[in-house]
Amino acid sequence: MPSSTEIIESSLPRTGSCVALGVSGGIAAYKAAEVLRGLQRANCRVRVAMTEHATKLIAPLTFRALSGEHVIVDDYAPDNPDPIAHITFSQTVDLFLVVPATANIIAKFANGVADDFLSSTYLACNAPVIIAPAMNTTMWNHPATRRNLAQLRADGVHIIEPDSGEMACGTFGPGRLSEPDRIVAAALEILKGTNA
């Protein structure tokens, strides 16, 4: 019997699109690798950008091995082949997808803060943007987070609501990253609309 990912992906057209996958520093960062593989199965080229905090949870080498692409953490890193990568990176993608989107990166996006590669890429990006939030329930329900999410919605950002369940900290409630196959399906649906 096919998995739910296979069923979802088989119902959508093969895109050939380029997706920027942003990975921020939440414990769910490891699930971004599953999202990357799901996008690749749908014939998407995936380029990865990470926050410095994300690299503490999952190594850039993991994403480089899976994507076959240079992973960017810092515009100014000596191994970065493009010193203005936040511009060229953001202008050559069909979709910008952030998995997981932490409270920190959501606040930066909502307030126009561009103090790292990921937030600079967001401001320079003309492609549709999807975020998949993941954080502790208390953080998810905090008025500042709700306000920032409302601002992002007003700015046209697509938000994949988190699931409810057990958190890494042992509490239960909303804030757990949505399942990777659901994130992939949402991304492919947006890409289908942009390729129409």
H helices present in the chain, as ranges:
4-10, 32-41, 52-55, 60-67, 85-91, 103-111, 117-124, 137-141, 143-154, 180-194
Nearest to 165 by CA among 156, 174, 157: 174
**Of residues 53, 63, 49, the one with CA closest to residue 25:** 53
116-167 residue pLDDT tens: 999 999 999 999 999 999 999 999 999 999 999 999 999 999 999 999 998 8
> Cα dist. 85→19, 80, 115, 153 in Å?
15, 8, 14, 26
What is the count of structural domains for the chain? Answer: 1
Find, among 79, 94, 10, the residue nearest to 47 by Cα.
94
Assess whether the previous peptide bond of 100 is cis (omega < 30° from 0).
Answer: yes
User: CB atoms < 10 A from the CB of 164, how many?
Assistant: 13
pTM over the 0.75 mark: yes
Q: Check: CB of residue 148 under 8 Å from CB of residue 106.
A: yes
Taking only the tens place, the pLDDT of each residue in 84-123 is 777 888 889 999 999 999 999 999 999 999 999 999 999 9
Q: Annotated catalytic, 125?
A: no
Distance CA 148, CA 165 (A): 23
The per-residue pLDDT for range 16-52, each reduced to its tens digit, is: 899 999 999 999 999 999 999 999 999 999 999 999 9
**CATH label of the domain that carries residue 43:** 3.40.50.1950
Q: Are 101 and 133 in contact (CB under 8 A)?
A: yes
Six token digits for residue 134:
């993941």
Exactly one of 18, 44, 125, 169 is catalytic; name it: 169
pLDDT at res. 9: 47
Parent domain of 10: 4-194
104 and 122 Cβ atoms separated by less than 8 Å: no
